[in-house]
Structure 1
Amino acid sequence: MMLRARRAAGPLLRLADAGAVGERICGGAQPARAVFARGFLDFLKPWSKESPENAEKKAKARARLTDEMSRGYFQDISEIRKNNGKIAAANKIIIPEAAAVKFPNLALESPAGRALQLPLVASPPLGDSHGADGTVPVVPVAALVCLSFRASSQKMAESWSLPFLDAFGATRKVEAYEVSFIDSWLLSSSPLRRAFLKAMRKSNNPQRHAVYAFGDHYDFRKELQIVNLLTGYIYLVDRLGRIRWQGFGAATKEELSSLTACASILLDEK
């Protein structure tokens, strides 16, 4: 960078040389070229060093690249085929309040054009979890959040959300969110995003929400320790935004039974 800076300053240095001849004749103490060169290069010094902020960004980018490359697509495929999407066992009992962690904040959009943020929490602070019209949505006592990172896992999400609403929909205290992640930069651009949302299905059930998360979701996945993107991730979230139960892949009868039991506990809490 210094070499390019010297070349760019060449014409100005030659102009400074012309003034330097007069200074030497008159007995000047320091040639103008030297003064100009030192001042010009001193001006460039802050730009020649990488700022701490940029260094931190590069370090994070390198760490992410290493992390993303540590697993391959074929490794994910192998894992899914081996256990049919069950990368871990679902909870059999409800997660105690003291051990429950908060579901990470996630901005979403619906095909109806509504913007919302999960988790919905009771008595949210100003600016959080508001709808597009500025109103605060009704917070469900129990929310089932089903995450799909690839189209192959959307049916897995439905295997949980539909039985869940069949069991508790009449109470009007639960909601199900089927979240699809769209990481394509093209579909995430404003014009195509609107067209994409208009083409997506709309649910006739007001308690069942098909919603979409656009853009990069790496930090969100890291918070939930999500690695394999080919399976579904299911979370039962309470009215304070805490994860109280978790499942994976497609639902089994036994897992639906444990989900139902845990959701019943939340509905009975005051």
Structure 2
Amino acid sequence: MHPVRTRWSLPTAFGSLKVCRLCQRRAFRSSTRLLAAQSPQPQGKPSPTPVGQSPASYKAPSKSEGFNLETLGRPIGFHRPPLPGENSGEDTRSLQERRDDFVDWDTHIKRRKELTKAVSKPYFRDFTNMQYERGKSFLANPRVFRADRALFFPNFVGTTLANSSKPADTTLVLLNRISLVSVYSSDWALKQVQTWTSEKHNPDLRRLLDGSKGIAQHVEVNIETNRLKHAILSLFKGRLRNERTQDDWDKYFFVRKGITDEIRENVGIMNAKVGYVFLVDGACRIRWAGSGDAHEEEKQYLNKGLRTLIAETTGSAKSKIPPQVTQ
């Protein structure tokens, strides 16, 4: 039985043309096939991208596709020294400045690019990358970076175990001290960091820190951007205090705001679910870095690097700090 054809009038230069819906569907299918035939077809399969080179990549390629961890061959960090108060995540602009940014075209384009980049990042990317080397991003360097070529560790703002109400800056804690900085955001990442720093896995490191007579210290940065999870984490502060000496309470930071993609990419924190460790000198320069689970030789590199930095500090009267840092 022939389907009912509903006719409608299509205005033309010569009057009205009667067209049924069946003819419309046939014309649409024909035009769709024509466009598909004219569209260029992708040639071959795109080459895999190594982990850490593309922040928006969905997953790291497997070893069968050519995935191999590479040594961190160049300094990481920022070219400008950090300042206390930076990266707090708080908008300190006046109402007039906010209005100006709202109508400014350049600011609009910049914000639109940021939103596009955030939307294009797959939600499960970090979880997917965990299947490759347990999320390890890079191999640690055998030696520390030279002081004249090292880049700066950014400032983080958060509360500490010593004071839960007043914001504190990591830069003020890192100045004039050799610091082993641990950065993590989950229990999985914490366990990875402990393969580098705990007395069970690396007793030589703990002896170096305890025997440095205050020259070296261990600073922990616990990042949790989710408001609810951050509130739950605050309930365990009592247990965290019991696990540390009172002198170390002001060296444990809870950070929720100010962690941008720019900071993660410059410092090498390519996977938010993985733990990272850094050796930072008294001028807040990153002299060495490690990621994920520690290999045996990497722990030796860490211990050797800490000894080198301690020797540099004790060999000079005082670490040279750029004047911008003390502002």
Q: TM-score range by the shorter chain?
A: 0.5 to 0.7
Q: Secondary structure at the match of 1:155?
A: helix
Structure-1 residue corresponding to 2:284: 241
Pair 1:78–1:197, CA change in 2 (3 A) = closer
**TM-superposed deviation, 1:170:** 1.8
Asked if residue 75 in structure 1 is aligned to residue 125 in structure 2, the reply is yes
Q: How does 1:195-206 map to 2 (within 5 A)?
A: 196=235, 198-199=237-238, 201-202=240-241, 203-205=243-245, 206=247
**AA partner of residue 180 (structure 1):** N
Asked if residue 159 in structure 1 is aligned to residue 195 in structure 2, the reply is yes
Contact 1:187/1:196, CA 8 A, preserved across alignment? no
CA deviation string 1:114-155 (max 9, x = no partner): 653223xxxxxxxxx2xxxxxxx6856320111113332011
CA deviation string 1:55-78 (max 9, x = no partner): 455434322222233432433223
Asked if residue 104 in structure 1 is aligned to residue 154 in structure 2, the reply is yes
Structure-1 residue corresponding to 2:257: 215
What is the distance in 1 between the residues matched to 2:170 and 2:265?
17
What is the distance in 2 between the residues matched to 1:138 and 1:227?
23
**TM-superposed deviation, 1:223:** 3.8
Structure-2 residue corresponding to 1:255: 298
Contact 2:135/2:271, CA 8 A, preserved across alignment? no
Structure-2 residue corresponding to 1:143: 179
**AA partner of residue 224 (structure 2):** I
Pair 1:195–1:156, CA change in 2 (3 A) = closer
Give aligned-pair identity as a percent.
Answer: 22
Equivalent position to 2:101, from 53, 64, 68: 53
For structure 1, the residue ranges without an aligned partner over 5 or more in a row are: 1-49, 120-128, 130-136
Relative to its length, the structure with more helix (as a share) is 1
Equivalent position to 1:183, from 225, 242, 263: 225
TM-score (norm: length of structure 2): 0.54
What is the distance in 1 between the residues matched to 2:137 and 2:290?
9
Contact 1:157/1:178, CA 8 A, preserved across alignment? no
**TM-superposed deviation, 1:236:** 0.5
**AA partner of residue 69 (structure 1):** V
**Cα RMSD, aligned residues only:** 2.9
Pair 1:68–1:151, CA change in 2 (3 A) = farther
User: Which protein has the larger Cα radius of gyration, Structure 1 or Structure 2?
Assistant: 1
Contact 1:237/1:245, CA 8 A, preserved across alignment? yes
**AA partner of residue 230 (structure 1):** K
**TM-superposed deviation, 1:246:** 0.6
What is the distance in 1 between the residues matched to 2:174 and 2:119?
41
Structure-2 residue corresponding to 1:117: 169
Pair 1:151–1:68, CA change in 2 (3 A) = farther
What is the distance in 2 between the residues matched to 1:72 and 1:223?
20
Equivalent position to 1:86, from 136, 140, 145: 136
**TM-superposed deviation, 1:220:** 3.2
Pair 1:59–1:52, CA change in 2 (3 A) = farther
What is the distance in 2 between the residues matched to 1:158 and 1:257?
15
**AA partner of residue 221 (structure 2):** V
What is the distance in 2 between the residues matched to 1:212 and 1:180?
5
What is the distance in 2 between the residues matched to 1:58 and 1:151?
38
